[in-house]
Amino acid sequence: MKAQQGTGRNPSAYSRMARAIFMVQIALVSFSAQAGVTDQAMQMHKRLTQVEPTQAVLSQMVSLISQGNHIAAALVAIDHDKNDLANVSFSPRAKYFYDVTLRSMFNSWVTNANLPNTPLNDYYALLIGAVREGIPFKEVLYSDLIFVGQGTGVAAYNYSANNNYTDLENKVIQGTASLAAEVDFRQDVQENVITANGTINLDMVGNKTAGALTLRGFGNEFYTAGTNRRVAQTIYKEYLCSPLMTIKDNTISDHRVRRDVDRSPSGDSMQFISNCKGCHGGMDAQMGAFGSYQFTNNRINGNSTNYAGQNVGGGTHKYNQNGNVFPQGYVTVNDDWSNPWVNGQNSALGWDLSQPTSGFGAEPWGRMIAHTDAFATCMAKRAFTQMCAREPALGEEVYINNLTNTFVSQNYSMKGLLAEAASLPPCRGN
C-alpha cells in the first residue's frame, strides 16, 4: 500500500527510481561480465605461459574474448615474433609458453626414468620446435627434422654430445636466448646437421631418419643397453596414451617373441601364455623396426653387421642376447617388423590402413603410430590436461572429441590445439 500511496503522490518519482535501479542493474551486469572476461584472459594467459600478461596484452585479449573469440585471444598470449627477439610484435611474455610451459609439458615424454627437469636435448628441442613452427605434430615421429641451438656461446651440434643444447639452455635460463626465437633455435634436417659432424651410419634400409626416433636424445634414453623394447613402452604410453599394460593381448601369435623371453617362467608355461605373450607377441614383432640400433660411445650406432652368425645361436647382438633361455625363439636378422595389433582388441586404437603396418626400420613404424586415431585423441587429452591443470572428467568426452577433430582438421597443429584447450570453459573459467 505504501508504494501505491507513493505512486499516487508522485508517479514520476517512482519511475525515476525504477529507472535508476534498472541502470544500476545494467551497470552491475556489464561490470561482472567485464570482470568475467578479464578473469578468463588472466587464467588463459597463466595456463599458457605460467605468468601474468602485460597490461597491453591483457586488454587485447579482453577485447577479443568480449567478441567471443577466445582462441584468437589465446594465440595473442603465445604468438611470438620468432624472427626477432628484440622486436617483439606480440606478447613479450609469449616466450614463456616455449621456455616454461612446453618444457614442463614434454618433460615426462623425453625421459625413461621420469626425472623432473630433464636437460634440454635434441628430442626435447624437436617437440618444442615443432609446436613453434606449426609443423604437423604427427611428424615428430617420422620426418627428417632437427632443431639446433645457435648464436654466441653455443657449441656446434655434435652427434655424440649434448653441449649444443646445454649451452642453449644456459642462455635461456640467463634470459639471453629463448626457444621461441628462430635466431636462437633453428630448424634443419637431420641429414644436414648430423652428417656435417661426421658420418652417422643409421644402418637401416634407405638410411632413413625418423623424427625423434633417430635423434641422439631419444637414443640416450631408449636405446641404451636393454633390448630396445623400451621404445614401444614409451611411444605407446606418451603418444597413444596406452601403456602396454592396458593393451596386452594374449591372443596374438608368439612367433616373433625373441629367445631371451622364458616360455615357462618359474616352470609355469601358463604364465607365458596368459601374461608375457600379451606384450611380447605384439611388441617384439614391432620392435624389429629398431633392430639395427644401439646407443654406444654416446651416440646412436647402426650395427646390422653384427647380425652375421646370429642365425646359428650365440653372439652379442642385443636383440639376440640370452639366446639360451629359449633357443627356438625368434632370431633377429635385420630390421623388419610387423604389427599384429592392427587386428583384435587393439584395432580400437584406430590404425590407418593406408599407412604401413609392416616394413623395415623406424620411419614407417613411426608413421604408422602417428596416423592412428589414438594419437590424435591422446594429444587432445594431453592438451586438455595441461591447460585445465587436471585430467578430463567423466562427461567431458565432448571436449576431447572436439579438440581431436580440430587438431586433425587443422593439420595436427599443436599450437592451435593448446590454444583451443586453454579457451574451453572448464579450463578458462566463466
Name the residues that contact ligand HEC, by CB under 6 A: 226-227, 229-230, 233, 244-245, 248, 260-262, 265, 271, 275-276, 278-280
Residue 121 grid coordinates: 636435448
Nearer to ligand HEC, 45 or 229 (CB): 229
Measure the CA–CA gap between 277 and 263, rounded to whole angstroms: 9
Nearer to ligand HEC, 270 or 394 (CB): 270
Residues across the chain: 430
Q: How far is the CB of 56 from ligand HEC (least distance, A)?
A: 50
Nearer to ligand HEC, 290 or 412 (CB): 290
Q: How far is the CB of 365 from ligand HEC (least distance, A)?
A: 16
Nearer to ligand HEC, 233 or 355 (CB): 233
Instruction: Tell me which residue has cell 584472459.
Output: 41
Nearer to ligand HEC, 129 or 278 (CB): 278
Q: How far is the CB of 267 from ligand HEC (least distance, A)?
A: 12
Nearer to ligand HEC, 181 or 235 (CB): 235
Residue 402 grid coordinates: 572436439
Q: How far is the CB of 263 from ligand HEC (least distance, A)?
A: 8
Cα 422 to chain centroid, rounded = 16
Contact 73, 41 (CB under 8 A): yes
Q: How far is the CB of 223 from ligand HEC (least distance, A)?
A: 10
Nearer to ligand HEC, 138 or 280 (CB): 280
Nearer to ligand HEC, 149 or 340 (CB): 340
Q: How far is the CB of 119 from ligand HEC (least distance, A)?
A: 21
Nearer to ligand HEC, 53 or 329 (CB): 329
| Phi/psi at 16 (5° precision) | -65, -40
Q: How far is the CB of 274 from ligand HEC (least distance, A)?
A: 9
Q: How far is the CB of 379 from ligand HEC (least distance, A)?
A: 22
Q: How far is the CB of 257 from ligand HEC (least distance, A)?
A: 9
